[in-house]
Amino acid sequence: MAFTHPETAVMLRTQVSEQTGRVFDIQRFSIHDGPGIRTTVFLKGCPLRCLWCHNPESIHPDPLLSFNLEKCISCGSCAEVCPNKAHVMGVERGHVFLRERCDAIGNCAEVCPSRALEMVGRDLTVDEVLDQALRDQLFYETSGGGITLSGGEPLLQIDFAEALLRGAKKAGVHTAVETAGHVTFARLARVAPYTDLFLFDVKDTDDAQHRKNTGVPIKRIQENLSALHETGASILVRLPIIPGLNDRQDHFEEMARIIRPMSGLLGVEVMPYHSLGIGKRQRLGLESNNGADPVPPDQETVVGWVKSLRKLGVHVINES
């Protein structure tokens, strides 16, 4: 039996507690990011620039200020504390937020009573995250759930991600990592010993289309999926399907060709596009797609995608 000297154990706990990462959300009672009831920890930073991004607040590694005009009660508290006069209160136009003046200090969000202003992104230690997540450990045990790291791309913050996963496993909790795979394989290898399930997103199989729609080439992602599978890791491939962008038969056929030889895969999950990212972009002052956002598919269309993949020999886990 391995023996850890008490002084070494204390040192290890201290190292974990001092490890910090940038988190933009901790979502409890999640049922869409792995088996059972889960807590999903969303980390900031992403190397992709997907046109349909569902979590645009995750892309930039720095904290961002979100402004939801519908929640604003025009109390003027933000204007009183903003050193750059980024908040202007007027009788006719109401609250005008001059984002170009904002340096995202967050004073205004701290005093906003209606939470119309919120800072998206905060630095937390591993212990702080685990303290929140482990409150629901009973639900994990009864449902087969656990903790999922998502983003963005959680493996960009590799030290923090590894420490979180290691801490969760030490507590006996099931772990999952959602990744787009556009990282060095060394990062995947670092977290693999502490990861019970990889949720591996594949956005497209045509390199030109992948570059156009995500800003990065496909090669590293495909190579990492294959290499990770060869290690024996538990992998569920997730296919975000976006009407007009990657809902092509040739994409389905190429996906089937790639994954059919991967006998160890748990399966494939079709992830139909939703439009929640549009409102987030607006609240964060991020660039729009100039009215070119996709339209969410109806259920009949999604069922058609699933049937197409199944006909190609793909094990799709969607119920429909």
Cα 53 from Cα 294, distance rounded (Å): 11
Cα 217 from Cα 219, distance rounded (Å): 6
Cα 207 from Cα 213, distance rounded (Å): 10
Q: Where in the chain is the domain with CATH 3.20.20.70?
A: 6-61+121-311
> 64-118 pLDDT, tens per residue?
999 999 999 999 999 999 999 999 998 677 899 999 999 989 999 999 999 999 9
- In angstroms, the Cα distances linking 79 to 94, 99, 274, 299 are 12, 13, 35, 46
Stretch 5-27: mean pLDDT: 61
Cα 209 from Cα 12, distance rounded (Å): 45
**pLDDT category, 167, cuts 50, 70, 90?**
very high
Among 223, 224, 210, 310, residue whose Cα is nearest residue 260: 310
Q: What architecture is domain 64-120?
A: 2-Layer Sandwich (3.30)
25 forms bridges with which residues in the sheet? 42
Q: Exposed (0-12), middle (13-18) or buried (19+): which is 238, by Cβ within 10 Å?
A: buried
Task: Give the pLDDT confidence score for residue 102 in this predicted structure.
Answer: 93
- Which tokens belong to 99? 């984002």
**pLDDT category, 5, cuts 50, 70, 90?**
very low
What pTM was computed for the model? 0.89
Cα 180 from Cα 155, distance rounded (Å): 9
Task: Give the pLDDT confidence score for residue 276 in this predicted structure.
Answer: 84
Please tell us whether the domain made up of 6-61+121-311 is placed in CATH 3.20.20.70. yes
Task: Give the pLDDT confidence score for residue 291 in this predicted structure.
Answer: 59
Q: Is the pLDDT of residue 314 over 80?
A: yes
- In angstroms, the Cα distances linking 70 to 89, 117, 137, 208, 283 are 15, 11, 36, 40, 10
Beta strand segments in the chain, E: 20-30, 38-43, 64-67, 87-90, 94-97, 117-120, 122-125, 146-150, 174-179, 197-201, 235-241, 267-272
Cα 77 from Cα 187, distance rounded (Å): 44
- Which tokens belong to 88? 């202007």
Least confident of 2-11, 70-79, 186-195, 226-235: 2-11
Q: Where in the chain is the domain with CATH 3.30.70.20?
A: 64-120
Chain-centre distance for alpha carbon 208: 24
> 253-309 pLDDT, tens per residue?
999 999 999 999 999 999 999 988 888 989 998 877 655 788 999 999 999 999 999
Task: Give the pLDDT confidence score for residue 4 in this predicted structure.
Answer: 32
**pLDDT averaged over the chain?**
91
> 205-263 pLDDT, tens per residue?
999 999 999 999 999 999 999 999 999 999 999 999 999 999 999 999 999 999 999 99
